Amino acid sequence: MNKVVAFDLDGTLSQSDAYLLRAYEGGLEAMGMPMLPKERLMQMIGGTVDDNKEIILPEGSMEKFMEYLHVVDSLAEKYARLYGHTYPGIPEALAQLREKGYKIALCSNGAEGYIRFILDVLGIQELFDAIQPNIPGWNKSDLLRKILKDFQTTQGVMVGDRHFDWEAAKDNQVPFIGCLYGLFPNEVEKAEFTISSPEQLPALVESILGPV
């Protein structure tokens, strides 16, 4: 049976605040919308379209919010090229997991174009066996369920830094590894399994799922 390690992207693999906060702020400025505190904008990282509309434009139309996202996407591409990077040790951890025989999947609320662009910028796209982007109307639990179904397995673990990721693992009855080095350690610090650096990941996955 396949054993799958599913990863969140922003704040787990990529230190995404380095470019996304600039893009969020630039989008607000370009659209003539009120500037929001960085702490508020940070909450958008890893969220769904509906989640993020409530942060940026709770009383406005979805059409205007999608216009804002279009501007943000363009700016994110620009800033990611300048400032995009993985957390230290991520490429090595992914390579070790693959060498051990685990299937590596990406489970993200982001759009496919964004995901593939960022993975390419980070230089780690080839390390993934599957990439599962957002599907309109689906939450992260649905996306993780699809990954497990596609690999025809119940043997998996979810790795992330947000409550969305932990909830997805719970809903699919698989273990969760909280990334305390990520952007939202306070959201996952009480998880049963946590890591303070990516270097700890291969050994922890093997202790949870067993060898392949």
pLDDT of residue 207: 98
pLDDT of residue 13: 98
pLDDT of residue 39: 94
- Domain ranges for the chain: 4-15+85-209, 17-83
Question: In the beta sheet, which residues pair with residue 159?
Answer: 7, 177
pLDDT of residue 47: 86
The model's confidence at residue 3, banded by pLDDT at 50, 70 and 90, is: very high
pLDDT of residue 46: 87
pLDDT (tens digit, 9 = 90+) per residue, 26-62?
A: 999 999 999 999 999 999 998 888 999 999 999 999 9
- Using CA atoms, how far apart are residues 169 and 15, in angstroms rounded to an integer? 22
Question: In the beta sheet, which residues pair with residue 157?
Answer: 5
pLDDT (tens digit, 9 = 90+) per residue, 138-196?
A: 999 999 999 999 999 999 999 999 999 999 999 999 999 999 999 999 999 999 999 99
* Mean pLDDT in residue range 63-86: 96
The class (CATH top level) of 4-15+85-209 is alpha beta
Whether residue 156 contacts residue 6, with contact meaning beta carbons closer than 8 Å, is answered with yes
- Select from 124, 130, 117, 132 the least CA-distant residue to 96: 124
Radius of gyration from C-alpha coordinates of the chain: 17
The dihedral sign for the CA sequence 160, 43, 79, 144: positive
| H helix or E strand, kind and range, residue 41 | helix 38-42
pLDDT of residue 48: 85
pLDDT (tens digit, 9 = 90+) per residue, 114-142?
A: 999 999 999 999 999 999 999 988 999 99
* Mean pLDDT in residue range 73-93: 96
What integer best gives the mean pLDDT of the chain?
96
pTM for the whole structure: 0.92
Question: In the beta sheet, which residues pair with residue 160?
Answer: 178
pLDDT of residue 71: 96
pLDDT of residue 143: 98
